[in-house]
Amino acid sequence: MLKHHRVWAGAGWLLIALVVTFSLIPHPPEPLSFDNADKLEHLLAYAVLSLWLNQLYLSALSRALVVVALVGLGVGLEFVQGWTGYRMFDALDMLANSLGVLTGWLLALTPLGHTFTYIERRLR
């Protein structure tokens, strides 16, 4: 169990809030500038969320729920974007979000999935 679980979880919720905000504001920042760069941004954002949350919830059931919830978030936000009138619905963004979630889940199965534990040990 992480000693600072609440801190890590709180930061995770802030990351989720950032993704939701950037998904729904009229003109989000575009740090990458090449064709379809937004797909890579979607994949990276959801991979970070998934890797982050999968370090907090370690049981197979909890991790499955994280994956389902994040895929649902990505799909749901695409529908909401389509309803805003100033953003677009894009099924390829849904795919990029979902691939990001799966990437983060897979990374959580590697040594990267112990990053928080490593940091906490170094802080002692």
The predicted-structure confidence for 33-49, as pLDDT tens digits, reads as follows: 898 899 999 999 999 99
Which amino acid, one-letter code, is at 84? Answer: T
Question: Does 47 fall in a domain?
Answer: yes
What tens digit of pLDDT does each residue of 4-29 get? 999 999 999 999 999 999 999 999 98
Question: Does 29 fall in a domain?
Answer: no
Question: Residue for token digits 């989000």?
Answer: 28
Q: What is the per-residue pLDDT for 32?
A: 85
What tens digit of pLDDT does each residue of 69-122 get? 999 999 999 999 999 999 999 999 999 999 999 999 999 999 999 999 999 999
**Rounded average pLDDT over 40-66:** 97
Q: Give me the number of domains the chain comprises.
A: 1
Q: Is the dihedral of CA 16, 28, 25, 99 positive or negative?
A: negative
Its pTM stands at 0.95
Query: Which among 114, 111, 102, 97 is positioned nearest to 67, based on CA atoms?
Result: 102
For residue 51, give its domain range.
5-21+36-123
Q: What is the per-residue pLDDT for 14?
A: 98
Question: Does 43 fall in a domain?
Answer: yes
